């Protein structure tokens, strides 16, 4: 039997890899990763939410042009130990219909013990969900209880012109942030967003 040439070995390896990739489309789809969170997901109340936000202007759907950088919540409960300031532990935004999104927030507060001991730390957890309408324009409208809370967006970016010489200049754009305060009964939620 003759030894195989390096070019023949390389061709055999490439043909085998191609055959494996084509034979398993499910594996290729799985390797592609999770779907974007801005794609509409099945929401049982999507039509009701569309009716709720029907007075807002209709435009072509766009992806969100902001991110939530941080936040906290002042929460009053029946217990003084669990009342107080909670930090924003996680947040998820999912599209449920055209320009309508669901915001899931998780807040945590560390339980302060009077005695130093070796037991693991304990955190109080509060979860809140809100729907909001946003089309990439100049306002964000939240559904809070049965009402609406509108937040006007004044500017998303700041442009600064740097003159280099008499013939050249550069334009530097800085993305701006915005603070949202969401009052929800005995809870006040503070979110800091940055436009991207």
DSSP string of 57-95? PP-------EEEEEEEEEE--SSTTT-EEEEEEEEEEEE
Residue 170 is assigned to a structural domain of this protein? yes
Full-model pTM: 0.68
Residue 171 is assigned to a structural domain of this protein? yes
Domain that holds residue 121: 34-195
Q: How confident is the model at residue 114 (pLDDT cuts 50, 70, 90)?
A: confident
Residue 4 is assigned to a structural domain of this protein? no
- DSSP letters of 85-98? EEEEEEEEEEEEET
Torsion of CA 37, 93, 180, 56, to 10 degrees: 80
Both structure tokens of 174:
């800085």
CB 56 within 8 A of CB 138: no
67, pLDDT greater than 60: yes
Residue 175 is assigned to a structural domain of this protein? yes
Residue 7 is assigned to a structural domain of this protein? no
In this predicted model, what pLDDT tens digit does every residue of 116-140 receive, in sequence order? Answer: 777 888 999 999 999 999 999 999 9
Q: Give the Å distances, CA to CA, from 12 to 1, 17, 20, 23.
A: 17, 9, 12, 16
Contacts of 152 (CB under 8 A, 6+ apart): 138, 139
Domain count for the chain: 1
Q: Can you tell me the distance from the alpha carbon of 135 to that of 164, in angstroms, rounded to the nearest whole number? A: 37
E strand intervals along the chain = 66-75, 84-97, 100-110, 123-133, 139-144, 147-152, 157-163, 169-175, 177-184, 187-195
Residue 18 is assigned to a structural domain of this protein? no
Q: What percent of the chain is modeled with pLDDT above 70?
A: 76
């Amino acid at each position: 039997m003759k030894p195989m040439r390096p070019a023949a070995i390389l061709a055999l390896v490439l043909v085998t890899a191609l055959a494996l990739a084509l034979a398993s489309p499910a594996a290729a789809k799985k390797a592609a990763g999770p779907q974007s969170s801005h794609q509409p997901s099945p929401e049982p109340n999507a039509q009701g939410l569309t009716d709720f936000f029907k007075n807002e202007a209709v435009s072509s759907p766009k992806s969100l042009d902001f991110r939530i950088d941080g936040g906290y919540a002042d929460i009053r409960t029946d217990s003084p130990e669990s009342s107080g300031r909670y930090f924003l532990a996680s947040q998820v935004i999912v599209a449920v219909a055209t320009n309508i999104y669901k915001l899931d927030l998780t807040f945590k507060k560390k339980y302060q013990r009077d005695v130093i001991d070796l037991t693991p730390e304990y955190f109080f957890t509060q979860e809140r969900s809100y729907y909001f309408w946003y089309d990439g324009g100049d306002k964000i409208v939240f559904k809070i209880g049965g009402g609406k809370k509108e937040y006007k967006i004044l500017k998303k970016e700041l442009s600064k012109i740097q003159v280099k010489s008499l013939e050249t200049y550069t334009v530097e754009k800085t993305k701006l942030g915005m603070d949202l305060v969401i009052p929800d009964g005995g809870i006040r939620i503070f979110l800091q967003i940055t436009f991207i």
